[in-house]
Chain A
Amino acid sequence: MKPAPFAYHRVHSVEAALERLHELGEEAKPIAGGQSLAPLMAFRLARPTALVDISRLAELAHLARVGDELRVGALTRHATVESGAAQCGEGFEVLSRSARFIGHGPIRRRGTFGGSLAHGDPSAEWCLLALALDAVVIARDRAGERAIDAGDFFTGYFSTALAPDELLVEVRFPRPRPHSSLKEFSRRRGDFALVGVAVALDLDRAGRCEDVRIAFGGVDDVPVRVAAAERLLEGEPAEADAFRAAAELCGAELGRGLGDEDGRLKRRLMVELSVEALGEASAGVPG
């Protein structure tokens, strides 16, 4: 389990990284924490011909609130988000709370936010939350920056809308979402979720749901929202019956493709986890 050969390039600025990526072509990859890429390389499932090491680009390690928006630099470590509830600011607690589901301590201290998104594992926590919180991914190439909606970012199993010479530099969460939650089930603590769900909603004065997002991981090759269930909850009182109805709809919609016994388990998890997540989200930030 030794990786295939590759050439290594360390860069000290984003510009240099972009130059390198451009020059090295399609088979080169940026590496930051390496917590997802290095295992794939050990199995030789990933065989980049070159790695561009961006891990020392301090300019990408920010975590800051700009107005309503939360900007997470690509190199922000999972552990920084986990312990940085204050930095994330009010309304983004779900990020800190969810970080604890990612692997174990040493993984969270080395793995990066941007790396997780760019890796595009459909059950990864940050991918789900990016989708549920309407995040925008900022990608840069030599020509400049573009913003990609999370909904357009994930294009397949472990693949994203990033071009080979593009670098994910930042993820922007547009506004606080105090009513949001992530729930997941894995057989062992710290493992990738068999099923995960992230939800976000707003409550009007009468306690009715608005702007609902329900995103699932582990059930398709990309994280997916269930629009029908979101619509079903729109304007409904934030109550258990409504949540269950929406959750059942999610199970029915996404569960269709899952035939066998594992599929039955996943359907059940989708329903139960989203009932819980919706309940927790509607209750708002604990304490």
Chain B
Amino acid sequence: MSDLHLIAITVNGEAHEVAVDSRRTLADVLRHDLRLTGTHLGCEHGVCGACTVLLDGSPVRSCLVFGVQADGMEVETVEGLADDGTLGPLQQAFSEEGGLQCGFCTPGFLMLGTALLREHPDPTEEEIDDLVAANLCRCTGYAGIRRALLKAARGGATEGWPEPARVEDPRLLTGGGRFVDDVDRAGQLWMRVVRADLAAAEIVEIDAEAARQMEGVVAVLDATSLPDGFVIPIRLGPYEGDLTPFLQPVLAGAEVRYVGEPVAVVVAEDPYVAEDAAERVVTRYAPREPLLDSAQHGAEPAVTLRRGFGDADAAFAAADLVVEVDVRVGRHSAVPLETRGLVADWDTQARHLTVWGATKVPHFNRGALARLLGLGAEEITIRASDAGGGFGVRGELYPEDVLVTWLAMRFERPVKWIEDRSEHLVATNHSREQSRRLEGAFREDGSLLAVRDRVRHDNGAYLRTHGLLVPEMTLGMLLGPYRVDGYDGEAQVFLTNKTPAGTYRAPGRYEATFARERLLDKAAAALGMDPIALRRRNLLKARELPHHRPVPVLGHEVVIDDADFAGLLAETLKESNWSGWKKEAAKLRGEGRAIGVGFAYFLEKSGGGGFETARIDVLADGRLRVSSGATSLGQGVETVLAEVVCRELDVARADVAVVAGDTDLVEAGGGSWASRSTVYAGSAAQKAAQELRALLLEVASELLEADARDLELGAGAVEVRGSPSSRISFAELAARSDALANGRHGRPPGLSVTATFTDAPMTYPYGVHLAQVEVDRRSGAVSVLRYHVGYDVGTAISPRQVEGQLVGGAAQGIGGALLEEFTYDELGQPQSTTFIDYLLPTAAEVPDVTLTLLERGRAKGNPLGAKGAGEGGTTACGAAIAAAVDDALQRPGAILELPITPTRVMRLLAGEE
């Protein structure tokens, strides 16, 4: 049933007449009817603000306005901000100040800022703070957005900025990104997933007749229609025993194991109709008792992992002091502002499948889809797209990826699926939920002799692509930067009736760091030692490196090759003014406020995954196109690759284009995860650039009839040293080394090289987090007053981006420490299915994070000397904030559970009343 209205709206000065159904939101009218895809949908219920546009000059969330309501009104969108492609001052300021990373929330902030500056050309800082707190950003930690608005408001000079803007920025700031929902194919169908609404039940019957009868519905299919063997494969080891019983079917067959599990799909001509039809699919269940807590009576682990070395038992027997903590980290996850989505287009004649939206490990996904769909990998292309943040959860092979591609082949029409926010919160990987008892054996002087670790890891209903990676990693990384002779680790992996879990930024380490640092804080209190002195005693010293630890992390045993743990600590404490924070907190406590400081040390890991490929083509106009197996998730990998190539070949950044993650352009690739993009893709790009240099010199030496050793390459050209008149540009080289000319010289056509960088050992960045917090004794609410991260990145290719990663990572870590948690009721019904219930931090909850960034421990395993920077901003947030809350309450060891919610703090304070 539709209720059509012809509306007239003016968008960015241009008049449009559109026929709209009354229920169509203004956002959908702009995006899909007018093809202005710069306005993004992050939640569709008015919380995130990504869809903010100006309606008659006033900022509104276009998901909360029906298109028909805008009849006769004037709309302004991000596409209208740039003047003939030249960025406006606000857009320019966003680029210069690191106000964007993935660019998904950016249009919303730009429109808010535009309205503010128009109405208050000289806003107060408070007005700017209020404005930034109105919308959500998951990447930047808000500091860059605030700086950008201030700069635009104050008319700050833009000259002399040391770092050029990112190559991603111009398109993302003008609404020109290519996110998956921006892809609409002619004749496409829309898929909607029917999901289980019980946590544990047998499926008795699925009645889809009513849905099938609806106008616009093409098909409704359940598991009985799918080929056998449609199961989500594990992408990464360890593979302990037979894990097949734990894998997720693409559609549930006999039973459902969590609320949100796909049980059927609707394919329809329109997403609204698809949702109508999905509601009409009636599933009858025979409910079972759900398992919701690994501590529940009778719960048995699916798998038990054991890792360790040395003689921990003997060390415990000989210890002066044994300390133990029972800690728990709550279930939370990445929750990027763009939900997942996929578009698949099957060309029946050519037998070729093209896929948009699989952004993380495209080559793996291509292979997995090929196996499941019965195609050759060469019959599938995964196209590069922008992504609104990944942080571990996006781009894995999920059931929906298999469904969309299979349906496109089956119906021989393009099929599109865009996850909505409520689905996202129950369907996309959760993470983090772990309880553990951690014991440490100490000598009286504070030396840590051995550790015993007993983890209960709640992985939700199934093992998905990450398999047992997170529980293994939490064991492998537990010991951090400390010297320990004996380790006895065990992780029991429980499958419960909750959303399956996978990796999220600093997987395993966030949890392990919280546990270990809590243990050390408790030990320091028990020994009457200063907590920092206790760390100093146990940190590995330079002369002890490389330090080998026989526990596996991503298939490599841990080898910490180079680090200055004590040096980074000293420098960070000094630069952050830690002693000042401490004094201030003590003074304010004296005045009755509950303020405290906390500290945590962490070891990160980066890299992993064997190899990466880079290809560089010299285009006809002399520009370079760099293609990589890495993908663009907002982390700025395009800028990093461009930077590396520019440095090697001395070309201007404007002359380098980067395509990240197109499977046609590079034959094999590892993807973007585990803080590996700079290490692997950067090193591959450097190698390719070096090979291209040699090729360019070879070709030029033929053309100039000069010895290659006498040639000089620079500024996009080659010349005979000392003879500027011999100069030949890359464009001319490309033109003159055409296929024929190349052929005569026995070379393949084109100026193109592909290089693979292989087998870098894992690198181990490390750092320190410091927090100062205040506890509101009335409410139990914790606010973070100051936050500082010290980090050794080895070599920073793009320092500004490293800062952005660390600050944005800290905002996520703070969210997990204080606000974010997926909770369930006693029947297993998820309680956090909206952005009103799952609390992402806003700018009001995130302080300005300050940094000490060192380039001290140059990584030995890759030519760039780089260590990844993707995760270290997050790793120790839970640990540092917990320590600070202890200090604020003057109750050492009080905080044992994350997130530190008002209810949990009140439970502690109840004892004080």
Interface bits A34-52 vs B (CB < 8 Å: 1, else 0)? 1100110111100000010
Q: What residues of B have a CB within 8 angstroms of the CB of A110 in the complex?
A: 58, 60-61, 64-65
User: Is B667 in contact with chain A by the CB < 8 A criterion?
Assistant: no
Chain A contacts for B420, CB-based, 8 A: 1
B interface residue count range (under 10 / 10 to 19 / 20 to 34 / 35 or more): 35 or more
B64 pairs with A268, CB closer than 8 A: no
When C-beta atoms are compared, the residue in chain A nearest to B906 turns out to be A265
Stretch at the interface among A15-23, A137-145, A185-193, A278-286: A185-193
How many A-B contacts if CB must be within 8 Å? 142
Contacts of A12 in B (CB 8 A): none
A188, B819: Cβ atoms under 8 Å? yes
Check A6–B45 contact: CB distance below 8 A: no
Partner pick for B66 among A8, A191, A273, CB 8 A cutoff: A8
In the bound complex, residues from chain B placing their C-beta under 8 Å from that of A42 are 44-45, 63
Contacting pair A190 B134 (CB below 8 A): yes
Q: Which of B819, B842, B906 contacts A190 (CB 8 A)?
A: B842
A-chain residues with CB within 8 Å of residue B499 when the two chains form the complex: none
Cβ-neighbour of A44 out of B1, B21, B279 (below 8 A): B279
Q: Render A233-276 as a binary contact track against B, CB cut-off 8 A, 1 for contact.
A: 00000000000000000000000000001101100110011000
Q: Would you call B112 and A106 a contact (CB within 8 A)?
A: yes
Please give, as numbers and ranges, the residues of chain A lying within 8 Å of B543 by CB-CB distance: none
Interface string of B806-845 (1 = CB under 8 A from A): 0000000000000100000000000000101001011011
Within 8 Å of chain A (Cβ to Cβ): is B130?
Answer: yes
| B313 on the A face (CB < 8 A) | no
Q: How far is the CB of A161 from chain B (nearest CB, A)?
A: 26
B901: chain A residues at CB < 8 Å are 187
- With both chains docked as a complex, state the minimum distance between the C-beta of B124 and any C-beta of chain A, in angstroms: 14
A104 to B844, CA, bound (A): 12
Interface residues on A, range: 35 or more
Structural contact, B903 and A262, CB atoms closer than 8 A: yes
A109, B58: Cβ atoms under 8 Å? yes
Please state if B134 and A104 are interface contacts (CB–CB under 8 Å).
Answer: yes
A106 to B903, CA, bound (A): 30
Query: Chain B, 40-79, contact with A by CB distance < 8 Å: what is the 0/1 string?
Result: 0000111001001000001111011110110100000000
Q: Which of B58, B63, B778, B834 makes the CB contact (< 8 A) with A38?
A: B63
**In whole angstroms, what is the CA distance A39 to B49 when docked?**
13
Could you say which residues of chain B place their CB within 8 Å of the CB of A35? 46, 64
Q: Is A205 an interface residue (CB 8 A)?
A: no
Residues of A within 8 A of B130 (CB): 104-105
* B907 and A34 contacting across the interface, CB-CB below 8 Å: no
Q: Which of B885-906 contact A (CB under 8 A)?
A: 901-903, 906
- Decide yes or no: A34 and B66 within 8 Å by CB, A185-B781, A265-B779 being known contacts: yes
- Do the beta carbons of B3 and A268 come within 8 Å of each other? no
Known: A35-B46, A189-B842. A4 touches B66 (CB 8 A): no
A156 located at the interface, meaning its Cβ lies under 8 Å from any Cβ of chain B in the complex? no
Interface: A220 (CB within 8 A)? no
Q: Which residue of B lies closest to A33 (CB)?
A: B64
A6 and B44 contact, CB distance less than 8 A: no
B35 within 8 A of A: no
Contact at A106–B134, with CB atoms within 8 Å?
Answer: yes
Once the chains bind, are B779 and A106 in contact (CB under 8 Å)? no
Distance of A62 Cα from B209 Cα, bound (Å): 52
Residue of A nearest to B272 (CB): A2
Residue of A nearest to B108 (CB): A106
A10 close to chain B: CB less than 8 A: yes
Task: Assess whether A38 is in contact with B5, with CB atoms less than 8 Å apart.
Answer: no
In the complex, A104 Cα to B112 Cα: how many Å?
11
- CB of B222 within 8 Å of the partner chain: no
State whether the Cβ of B176 lies closer than 8 Å to any Cβ in chain A.
no
> Are A7 and B52 in contact, CB atoms less than 8 angstroms apart?
no
Whether the pair B839, A187 counts as a contact (CB closer than 8 A) is yes
| Known A-B contacts A3-B23, A264-B910, A269-B779; A43 and B45 likewise in contact (beta carbons under 8 Å) | yes
Q: Within 8 Å CB of A69, what residues of B?
A: none
Q: A42-B44, A51-B22 are in contact. List 14 more A-B contacts (CB 8 A).
A: A2-B275, A4-B276, A5-B21, A5-B272, A8-B22, A10-B68, A43-B45, A53-B68, A104-B135, A107-B46, A109-B58, A264-B910, A265-B903, A268-B779
- Considering the complex of A and B, which 8 residue pairs feature the smallest CB-CB distances, nearest first? A8-B22, A104-B134, A189-B844, A272-B778, A39-B45, A1-B420, A38-B64, A1-B44
Residues of B within 8 A of A (CB): 1-3, 5, 21-23, 25, 28, 44-46, 49, 52, 58-61, 63-66, 68-69, 71, 112, 130-131, 133-135, 271-272, 275-276, 279, 420-422, 778-781, 819, 834, 836, 839, 841-842, 844-845, 901-903, 906-907, 910
Q: Can you name 23 A-B pairs with beta carbons within 8 Å?
A: A1-B45, A1-B275, A1-B420, A2-B272, A2-B275, A5-B272, A10-B68, A35-B46, A38-B25, A39-B45, A53-B69, A104-B134, A104-B135, A107-B46, A110-B60, A187-B901, A188-B839, A188-B842, A191-B836, A194-B902, A261-B903, A269-B778, A272-B779
